[in-house]
Amino acid sequence: MQIRYKLTLLAFLLCATSSLALAQETVIVQIDPTTQRFVGDESALDREKYFKIHSGNDNDPDISKFLTDYDVSVGRSFWSPFSYAKQKAGEVGVYPQPKTGPGTVREVKKGLVGTDHPQNVIRYNIDVNAAAEWAAEYYKNHVEQSGRPEFYEPINEPFVHAGDNVFKEQQPDDALMRRRMAEWFGAIGKKLHETPELANMKVIGYSSAWPSVELWDFGHWDSRMKMFMDVAGEHMDGFATHLYDGINVTGQDTRRSGSNSEAILDLIETYSYAKWGKIIPHAISEYGGIEKGYPDAYSDVKSIQSVKSINHLLFNLLDRQNDLLLSIPFITDKATWHLTAANNYQPYGATLWKPVTIGQPDPQEFDFTARIYFYKLWAGIKGDRVLARSQNPDVQTHAFLDGNVLHIALNNLADETKIARLDGVAALPEASGARMRSLRIYDQQRPQYTDETLATAPAELELIPGETKILSITLDEAVSYGNAIKTTKYYADKHLQPIAKDQPLTFKFSGVAAGSGYGVLRMSIGRKHTMSKSPKITVNGRSVQMPDNWKGYDQANREDFFGMIEVPVHHSLLAETNTVTVTFPDAGGHLASLILQLDKFDTAVDIPLGMRPYAEPTEWAVYPNPFRNQLVFKVPEAKNHVADVVLYAMDGKKVLSKSIPFSDGFMRLNTDDIKQCMYLVSVTVDGKRFSQRVVRN
Rounded to whole angstroms, the Cα distance separating 129 from 183 reads 10
User: What confidence score (pLDDT) does residue 244 get?
Assistant: 96
pLDDT band at 405 (very low <50, low <70, confident <90, very high): very high
Residue 584 and residue 530 in contact, taking contact as beta carbons nearer than 8 Å: no
| pLDDT (tens digit per residue) in 423-444 | 988 788 888 889 999 999 999 9
Q: In the predicted model, is pLDDT for residue 634 greater than 80?
A: no
Rounded to whole angstroms, the Cα distance separating 306 from 312 reads 10
Which residues partner with 437 through β-bridges?
A: 451, 470
Closest by Cα among 399, 494, 475, 374 to 66:
374
User: What confidence score (pLDDT) does residue 9 get?
Assistant: 37
Domain stop point among 419, 448, 475 = 475
Averaged pLDDT, 234-260 = 88
570: containing domain = 487-606
286 is catalytic: yes
Pick the catalytic residue from 25, 150, 153, 157: 157
Averaged pLDDT, 130-141 = 98
- For residues 142 and 121, membership in a common domain is answered with yes
Averaged pLDDT, 14-22 = 37
User: What confidence score (pLDDT) does residue 86 get?
Assistant: 97
CB within 8 Å of 3: residues ≥ 6 apart:
638, 639, 640, 641
**617 domain residue, yes or no:** no
> From the CB of residue 296, how many other CB atoms can be counted at a distance below 10 Å?
9
C-alpha 58 chain-centroid distance: 29
Residue 288 and residue 306 in contact, taking contact as beta carbons nearer than 8 Å: yes
User: What confidence score (pLDDT) does residue 465 get?
Assistant: 97
From residue 2, alpha-carbon distances to 110, 493, 639, 640, 659 in Å are 70, 41, 8, 6, 15
| pLDDT (tens digit per residue) in 469-505 | 999 999 998 899 999 999 999 999 999 999 999 999 9
What pTM was estimated for this model as a whole?
0.88
pLDDT band at 18 (very low <50, low <70, confident <90, very high): very low
Look over the chain and give the mean of its residue pLDDT values, rounded to a whole number. Answer: 90
**2 domain residue, yes or no:** no
157 is catalytic: yes
- For residues 353 and 211, membership in a common domain is answered with yes
**613 domain residue, yes or no:** no
Beta strand pairing call for 630-634 and 621-623: antiparallel
Residue 20 and residue 677 in contact, taking contact as beta carbons nearer than 8 Å: yes
User: What confidence score (pLDDT) does residue 468 get?
Assistant: 98
Residue 109 and residue 55 in contact, taking contact as beta carbons nearer than 8 Å: no
- For residues 324 and 272, membership in a common domain is answered with yes
pLDDT band at 3 (very low <50, low <70, confident <90, very high): very low
Q: In the predicted model, is pLDDT for residue 270 greater than 80?
A: yes
**619 domain residue, yes or no:** no
668 exposure class (CB count in 10 Å sphere: 0-12, 13-18, 19+): middle
Q: In the predicted model, is pLDDT for residue 96 greater than 80?
A: yes
Domain of residue 503, CATH code: 2.60.120.1200
User: What confidence score (pLDDT) does residue 672 get?
Assistant: 77
Closest by Cα among 492, 477, 478, 428 to 456:
428
Domain of residue 95, CATH code: 3.20.20.80
Element (H, E) at 314: helix 300-317
- For residues 33 and 94, membership in a common domain is answered with no
Spell 412-451 as b/e; 16+ CB within 10 A means b: bbbeeebbbbbbbbeebeebeebbbbbbbbeeeeebebee
| pLDDT (tens digit per residue) in 572-630 | 999 999 999 999 999 999 999 999 999 999 999 877 655 655 545 556 667 676 677 77
**590 domain residue, yes or no:** yes
User: What confidence score (pLDDT) does residue 629 get?
Assistant: 74
Domain stop point among 344, 378, 412 = 378
Averaged pLDDT, 59-70 = 97
Q: In the predicted model, is pLDDT for residue 696 greater than 80?
A: no
Averaged pLDDT, 283-309 = 95
**600 domain residue, yes or no:** yes
- For residues 468 and 492, membership in a common domain is answered with no
DSSP per-residue letters across 643-659: EEEEEE-TTS-EEEEEE
| pLDDT (tens digit per residue) in 297-328 | 999 999 999 999 999 999 999 999 999 999 99
- For residues 495 and 518, membership in a common domain is answered with yes
User: What confidence score (pLDDT) does residue 508 get?
Assistant: 98
Q: How far apart are the first and last CA of the chain?
A: 40
φ, ψ of residue 185 in degrees (nearest 5)? -55, -45
- For residues 311 and 243, membership in a common domain is answered with yes
Domain stop point among 446, 475, 504 = 475
Pick the catalytic residue from 137, 262, 269, 286: 286
Q: In the predicted model, is pLDDT for residue 406 greater than 60?
A: yes
| pLDDT (tens digit per residue) in 636-693 | 665 556 666 666 655 556 667 777 776 666 777 787 777 766 666 666 666 565 656 6
Domain count, the chain: 4
- For residues 177 and 226, membership in a common domain is answered with yes
Domain of residue 458, CATH code: 2.60.40.1180
From residue 635, alpha-carbon distances to 247, 364, 620 in Å are 47, 73, 5
For residue 498, whether the previous peptide bond is cis, meaning omega lies within 30 degrees of 0, is no
User: What confidence score (pLDDT) does residue 619 get?
Assistant: 62
Residue 578 and residue 492 in contact, taking contact as beta carbons nearer than 8 Å: no
User: What confidence score (pLDDT) does residue 24 get?
Assistant: 79
- For residues 257 and 389, membership in a common domain is answered with no
**623 domain residue, yes or no:** no
- For residues 330 and 409, membership in a common domain is answered with no
- For residues 319 and 389, membership in a common domain is answered with no
**246 domain residue, yes or no:** yes
Rounded to whole angstroms, the Cα distance separating 166 from 673 reads 61
- For residues 601 and 524, membership in a common domain is answered with yes
